Amino acid sequence: MVWAILSEKTRRTQNQFATIGSKRLAQTLKSVHIPSQPLIFANVWDLASLNMVLSLNSEASKPVKAIATASWAFAASLGVEDEELTLEQNLASIRNITATVASVGLPLSVDLQDGYGSCLREAVTQAIQAGAHGLGQGVEHSLCPSSEQIRRLQLAVKAAADEGLLDFFINARCDVFALKEGLNLHNEARLQEAIRRGKAYLDAGATTVFFWRGYGAGFTEADVQTLVGGLDGQVAIRLGQT
Residue-level pLDDT at 14:
40
Residue-level pLDDT at 108:
97
* 69, β-bridge pairs: 44
Domains of the chain in start order, with CATH, are 2-33+101-237 (3.20.20.60)
Is the model's pLDDT at 200 over the cut of 70?
yes
Residue-level pLDDT at 219:
87
Helix (H, G, I), strand (E, B) or coil at 17: helix
Residue-level pLDDT at 138:
74
Residue-level pLDDT at 67:
97
Report pLDDT digits (tens) over 21-80.
889 999 999 999 988 888 988 899 999 999 999 999 999 999 999 999 999 999 999 999
Q: Pick the closest to residue 107 from 162, 49, 68 (CA basis).
A: 68
Helix (H, G, I), strand (E, B) or coil at 64: coil
182-202: string of b/e by CB count within 10 Å (b at 16+)? eeeeeeeebbebbbebbebbb
Residue-level pLDDT at 13:
43
pLDDT band, residue 16 (cuts 50/70/90): very low
Residue-level pLDDT at 239:
67
Task: Provide the percentage of residues in the chain whose pLDDT is more than 70.
Answer: 87
| Phi-psi domain of 119 (left: phi exceeds 0; alpha: psi -120 through 50; beta: other) | alpha
What average pLDDT does range 90-105 have in this prediction?
96
SS3 percent helix, strand, coil of the chain, rounded to 5, is 50, 10, 35
- Compute the C-alpha angle 156/157/159, nearest 5°: 65
Q: What is the distance between the alpha carbons of residues 165 and 159, in angstroms, rounded to a whole number?
A: 9
Ranking 14-18, 169-173, 225-229 by mean pLDDT, the lowest is: 14-18
Is the model's pLDDT at 242 over the cut of 60?
no
24-46: string of b/e by CB count within 10 Å (b at 16+)? ebbbbbbeebeeeeeeebbbbbe
Q: Return the CA Rg of the chain.
A: 19
Q: What is the distance between the alpha carbons of residues 139 and 151, in angstroms, rounded to a whole number?
A: 13
pLDDT band, residue 12 (cuts 50/70/90): very low
Is the model's pLDDT at 216 over the cut of 60?
yes
Residue-level pLDDT at 64:
96
Mean pLDDT of the chain: 87
What is the 8-class DSSP label of residue 60?
Answer: S
Helix residue ranges per DSSP H, the chain: 2-31, 47-54, 71-78, 87-103, 120-130, 146-162, 187-203, 221-230
Please give the model's pTM, rounded to 2 decimal places.
Answer: 0.86
Is the model's pLDDT at 18 over the cut of 80?
no
Report pLDDT digits (tens) over 104-159.
999 999 999 989 999 999 999 999 999 999 999 876 556 788 899 999 999 999 99
Q: What is the distance between the alpha carbons of residues 77 and 96, in angstroms, rounded to a whole number?
A: 13
